[in-house]
Amino acid sequence: MLETHDFGCWEAAVANRLGHHLTEQEREQVMSYQAVAQRFGDCIVIKDYDAAWSLLSEEMRLSFTSESIKIAVTTMTAYGTGSIQVAQVMDEFTLEDWPGKQADDLAIVYVSLNGDSFSEAVILTLAEYGQEILIRHLEWGRP
């Protein structure tokens, strides 16, 4: 069963970092990139690798297939038993500014991927592509 996620805690954390309440534009941007990151994690939980692949940028889609995402997840969690039960965006590990940030980049988001006998993660760089927010880069596993 998938957990439901409350964006209120992320909004409060970002507002605290910024030192002011979020404007409507800031709120939409934060919720959007966090929602995309959460959706990617949720797709991994339910093993909908095609849907996870659809959240990648066009350039990333050339490097990954839904099958390669499945293999990466399976390999990463092979030391444990069972499957991933919960994906959770970790707002305390979200970066909105970093060296090497590209013009359309929005955030680097850490998504924990937890099962009964393991705890793993995927780190996503999310960027704006026209009207969409997509994954520009990803790294599997805990740092």
Where are the chain's structural domains?
A: 8-140
Confidence of residue 22 (pLDDT cuts 50, 70, 90): low
pTM of the model: 0.79
The mean pLDDT of 73-83, rounded to a whole number, is 94
- What is the rounded CA–CA span in Å between residue 39 and residue 50? 12
What would the CATH number be for the domain defined by 8-140? 3.10.450.50
User: What is the average pLDDT score of the chain?
Assistant: 85
The mean pLDDT of 56-82, rounded to a whole number, is 96
Structure tokens at 112: 């924990």
Q: In this predicted model, what pLDDT tens digit does every residue of 82-137 receive, in sequence order?
A: 999 999 999 999 999 999 999 999 999 999 999 999 999 999 999 999 889 999 99
